Amino acid sequence: MDLSGKYSIPLVLLCLFSFILAASLASAGTFPFAYEQQTLPNGLKVIAVPLDTPGLITYFSIVRTGSRDEVEPGRSGYAHFFEHMMFRGTKNLPGPEYDRIVTGLGANSNAFTTDDFTAYHLTFPQKDLETVVKIESDRFQNLSYEKQAFQTEAGAVYGEYRKSVSSPFMILEEKLLDAAFDKHTYKHTTMGFEADVKAMPEGYDYSLSFFKRFYRPENVVILITGDVQPKAAFALVEKYYGDWKPGYEPPKITPEPPQQAPRSGEIAYSGRTLPILCIAYKGAAFDPGDKDYAAARLLNELAFGETSELHKKLVLREQTVEFLAADVPVNRDMPLFTIASMVKEEKDIAAVRGEIYKTIERFQTTPVDAQKLADVKKRMKYGFLMDLDSSDNVAEALARIVALTGGIEAIDMFYDTLETVAADDIRRAAEKFYRPDRRTVMVLKGEK
């Protein structure tokens, strides 16, 4: 470091480094914080992650149910719907009273739904932990709403759907998933099929059964991060959730049959946008010990990340695309590995697609440079750690792993597996996943 201060590290980064370094002394793996966990007799699991965030706690209620679990025909969208209904309250604590308490705590309360889970979260003063445990346990055990309230919220959800499909990216995702999947419930988005969402006001009785099946203690994990004393937190959770009756009924998910040939489609978007090209391949479910999956995550960065040769060529030098983005997601079942680009001129779509194919072929035949591979491993791990800078960011970083695996242990296992990936593993992953018979290509074009 230059003592003149010209290259000094900002104070906020020094604090962050100290925050992570101190935690690392108590944790031997990649995840830098010590934690404790406990499972109640009814199956509810509680994980407490103490952090150096004086006076502040984040509380996540992770329901291990998302749009993936919507197996009944005509009933997509209900996982997302319950993200809304859970704020309607109970007979003991109606929605407005719940809101009044949360506002009085100065808490930040929200929720989100994904394909594999639904999460409800609050960040609040440490002194109010018992109040939060009490009100959260009440709505998870005693949610209550009448048919009229249900229909009102269902109408609002359909309005949200109509608003979302004004985005070309939402339309693209919807059409891509529908084309790529035949049987698996990843075929629909988290919002659900439009016809199902539109018909939702008639599904009051079904909604009650959905809540009864999925909002059960064995299917929920409570994640508490920040200025928390684990034993005291566990006692509070047992006090307020201990009488919650088990009864989770897992859905029977139909596996996706192997794809036999390439698929493609084109979307005419009724609005102005640059063309969007998306190339997707049937991938693999998250498995922290699977070297092929770990290699695919590294390949994604090497081939299509911001430091990749393709990104430099298309985005920086030739400037034929607005962006190049790729994703190897963390999913419970087999997702799509995607490469997407917004192309500036329609005439260049074929050329951009060709460049992506050539890049894949190169990684299938040419070993990756060992130093580049090592650098990507370091960046991936460093990026994960640098996001762990607050109680809510730690909880958010853990939520999907906890939802998929039930715990935090998979983080260390995955990064251990990542370290074992060699150049030939990258080549093998490219050959395994990025094959034409696993591919679906979708092009969206707007009005001219």
Q: In which element (H, E) is residue 121 found?
A: strand 118-125
**Inside any domain, residue 65:** yes
The pLDDT value given to residue 112:
97
Residues 189 and 317 both lie in one domain: no
Select from 170, 172, 161 the least CA-distant residue to 199.
161
Supply the CATH number for residue 330's domain.
Answer: 3.30.830.10
Residues 284 and 148 both lie in one domain: no
Residues 41 and 156 both lie in one domain: yes
- The full 3-state SS of 230-287, as one line of letters, equals HHHHHHHHHHHHCCCCCCCCCCCCCCCCCCCCCEEEEEECCCCCCCEEEEEEECCCCC
Residues 97 and 162 both lie in one domain: yes
Residues 311 and 216 both lie in one domain: no
pLDDT tens by residue, 159-199 = 999 999 999 999 999 999 999 999 999 999 999 999 999 99
**Inside any domain, residue 249:** no
- Residue 253, pLDDT > 50, answer yes
pLDDT tens by residue, 196-251 = 999 999 999 999 999 999 999 999 999 999 999 999 999 999 999 999 999 998 99
The alpha carbon of 338 is separated from its chain's Cα centroid by a whole number of angstroms, namely 15
Residues 222 and 319 both lie in one domain: no
Residues 429 and 286 both lie in one domain: yes
pLDDT tens by residue, 296-322 = 999 999 999 999 999 999 999 999 999
Query: Which of 241, 274, 305 marks a domain boundary?
Result: 241
With cut-offs at 50, 70 and 90, classify the pLDDT of residue 109.
Answer: confident
- Residue 15, pLDDT > 70, answer no
Residues 273 and 160 both lie in one domain: no
Residues 60 and 197 both lie in one domain: yes
Please state whether beta strands 263-268 and 439-445 pair in parallel, antiparallel, or not at all (unpaired).
parallel
Residues 133 and 226 both lie in one domain: yes
pLDDT tens by residue, 339-392 = 999 999 999 999 999 999 999 999 999 999 999 999 999 999 999 999 999 999
Mean pLDDT of the chain: 93
Residues 236 and 268 both lie in one domain: no
**Inside any domain, residue 256:** no
Number of compact structural domains in the chain: 2
| Structural domain of 215 | 31-241
DSSP symbols for 181-209:
-SSSGGGS-SS--HHHHHTGGG-HHHHHH
**Inside any domain, residue 258:** no
Residues 315 and 285 both lie in one domain: yes
**Inside any domain, residue 12:** no
**Inside any domain, residue 274:** yes
**Inside any domain, residue 1:** no
Cα gap 279→176, rounded to integer Å: 9
**Inside any domain, residue 321:** yes
DSSP symbols for 308-372:
SHHHIIIIIIS--EEEEEEE----SS--EEEEEEEESSGGGHHHHHHHHHHHHHHHHHSPPPHHH
Query: Which of 241, 276, 305 marks a domain boundary?
Result: 241
- Residue 133, pLDDT > 80, answer yes
CA distance readout (Å), 49 to 167, 228, 398: 38, 7, 10
